[in-house]
Structure 1
Amino acid sequence: MKVKLATHYGFCFGVKRAIKIAEEHKNSATMGPLIHNQKEIDRLKKDFNVDLYSTIEEAQKQDTVIIRTHGIPKNDLKKLKENNTKVINATCPFVTTPQQIVKNMSKDKYSIVIFGDDDHPEVKGVKSYGDDVHVVPSPDELDNLIFKYDKIATVAQTTKQKEKYLDIINHLILRYKEVRVFNTICDATFENQAATRELSGTVDIMIVIGGKNSSNTKQLFNISEENCVSHLIEDESELDDSWFINKTVCGVTAGASTPDWIIQKVIEKIEKL
């Protein structure tokens, strides 16, 4: 089986930075999963004794707590600092940007529209910095919104597709006199999506590697599925030989939280088929 790897894939800048921070702070804990990849979280626990806290209450005084790449709500961060916890902020800089935009625009009396998923940890964190904040997953949700202010500012979850964000923006600018638009979609996300779109149009089958709860991995899978038979897996153990019957060329891409060691194991197993 011939394997083609996407030109852009895997760990983004923010994830690499967070992993490095965790490795440098042994015997610490992360507030929420550091990244959306359980295998990598297990490795950090095994090799560096980096634990995982699910609630603020688990953090004790003098603990070293690392803030996840997706960030946490503003009040949770405040509580950690007030508890004399040593806080190491590994929030991706591309995530802190929309946090600050929402904070500043809210001070200037703008209603905020976030293009994203309301239950995603990144969106929960960004939302906490605003006053009148509305999270919309699609343009269909916009007509039901009632805004507190007559000025609108928009940001997007960093892993969303730019084309769909444009649909949100176009809907708003036709209906409101002042709309401030901030492009907060991560460049690495856009590059990975473009590379996946290009590769999936040239192969017989695509394998997308990443956490099943990872938004950016799901986006890659959705894009790939538009062009060819595609499968989303977390590691090589999920590969099924039957997928590759009568297939000669397999494309591989990976989400931004997928480490190279997992990608390599997947490629090696496919090449042996």
Structure 2
Amino acid sequence: MEIRLARNYGFCFGVKRAIKIAEESPNSVTFGPLIHNKNEIERLKKSFNVGLVEEIDEIEENGRVIVRTHGIPKDMLQTLKQKHVEVVDATCPFVTKPQEIVEQMSNEGYSVVIFGDINHPEIKGVMSYAKDPVVVLGVEELRQHLPKLKERVATVAQTTRKFEEYQKIVNFLMEHKKEVRVFNTICNATFENQDAARELSCEADVMIIIGGKNSSNTKQLYNICKENCPDSYLIENEEELDPSWFRGKKVCGITAGASTPDWIIEQVIEKIKKIGV
């Protein structure tokens, strides 16, 4: 069985930056999971004593706290900075940008529409910088909110959403509102990984997508692959591989989410090689 890697996969700029920050900040804690990959979080804990807290009250004074890549709500960041702790901000610059945009647009009197998952930590952070934002995942949902929107609307997208779906949101707004300010905040790495996964899944008999089950961008990769290759599987590590997936297959394609470290990808490849033999 031939194994092919997607031409783009794995760690994005923001995740690489956050991991480097964490490795250079031993004996600290992250406020919320640094990235959406529990295996990498466990490695940081074991190798660098970088812990994890979910509530501000859990953070000890005179310590060091790292803000996760997805960012946190504005009021939480302000509360952190008021505590007697060293704050190291590992928020991805591509996440900080939509925060800045919606704050500016809100201050200028625009209604703000955010395309994304309202329960995702990135979106919770972005929402906190806008006044009464509308968060939607599709046109039908947006249609319900249309009456409350002003004639001047600004829109941003979650960094890991599909560009085609964002276009539908934008087109709908332009049909119904007089002024629409559109900011393409989807990350380039997301585009590149998705295009590469789409291309490879058309050639493969079986696709393995490696990444956190709670990772938005990894789930997007899985959905794209599944459209072209019915035998597509999302796993977090090599232990989840099932030998039956590869029986009778000639080409195995592999891609990985933006929070998936190389060491996990290598372990998966090695096990697939053994299964193939």
Does the CA-based 8 Å contact 1:60-1:83 persist in structure 2?
no
Partner of 1:249: 251
Partner of 2:50: 50
1:84-107 Cα offsets, whole Å, 9 max, x none, are 221000000000000000000000
The secondary structure found in structure 2 opposite 1:87 is strand
Partner of 1:168: 169
Taking the TM superposition and a 5 Å limit, the aligned residue runs for 1:36-185 are 36-145=36-145, 146-147=147-148, 149-185=150-186
The residue type paired with residue 109 of structure 2 is K
The residue type paired with residue 262 of structure 2 is D
Partner of 1:188: 189
Instruction: Give the CA deviation at 1:148.
Output: 5.1
Q: Distance in 2 between matches of 1:57 and 1:138?
A: 36
Does the CA-based 8 Å contact 1:132-1:147 persist in structure 2?
no
Does the CA-based 8 Å contact 1:59-1:80 persist in structure 2?
no
1:38-57 Cα offsets, whole Å, 9 max, x none, are 00000000000000010111
Partner of 1:237: 239
Partner of 2:198: 197
Q: Distance in 2 between matches of 1:144 and 1:14?
A: 34
The secondary structure found in structure 2 opposite 1:272 is helix
The residue type paired with residue 228 of structure 2 is N
Q: Distance in 2 between matches of 1:235 and 1:84?
A: 38
Moved over 2 A (4+): 146-150
Q: Distance in 2 between matches of 1:266 and 1:9?
A: 14
Quick one: structure 1 residues 175 and 148, their matched pair in 2 at CA, closer, same or farther if it must change by over 3 Å?
A: closer
Q: Distance in 2 between matches of 1:60 and 1:130?
A: 30
Taking the TM superposition and a 5 Å limit, the aligned residue runs for 1:4-43 are 4-43=4-43
Q: Please, which runs of 5 or more residues in structure 2 have no aligned partner?
A: none
Q: Distance in 1 between matches of 2:35 and 2:70?
A: 8
The residue type paired with residue 204 of structure 2 is V
Number of aligned pairs? 273
Q: Distance in 1 between matches of 2:4 and 2:171?
A: 37
Query: Alignment identity in percent?
Result: 63
Taking the TM superposition and a 5 Å limit, the aligned residue runs for 1:211-222 are 211-222=212-223
- Cα root mean square deviation, aligned: 0.7
Partner of 1:227: 228
Q: Distance in 1 between matches of 2:18 and 2:245?
A: 35
Does the CA-based 8 Å contact 1:3-1:251 persist in structure 2?
yes
The residue type paired with residue 52 of structure 1 is L
Q: Distance in 1 between matches of 2:2 and 2:239?
A: 19
The secondary structure found in structure 2 opposite 1:154 is strand
Q: Distance in 1 between matches of 2:148 and 2:157?
A: 18
Instruction: Give the CA deviation at 1:203.
Output: 0.9
The residue type paired with residue 187 of structure 1 is N
The residue type paired with residue 31 of structure 2 is M
Does the CA-based 8 Å contact 1:4-1:252 persist in structure 2?
yes
Q: Distance in 1 between matches of 2:149 and 2:140?
A: 20
Q: Distance in 1 between matches of 2:4 and 2:148?
A: 48
1:196-232 Cα offsets, whole Å, 9 max, x none, are 0000000101000000000000000000000011000
Q: Distance in 1 between matches of 2:61 and 2:271?
A: 46
Instruction: Give the CA deviation at 1:248.
Output: 1.2
TM-score (norm. length: structure 1): 0.99
Residue range with higher mean Cα deviation, 176-185 or 134-143: 134-143
The secondary structure found in structure 1 opposite 2:199 is helix
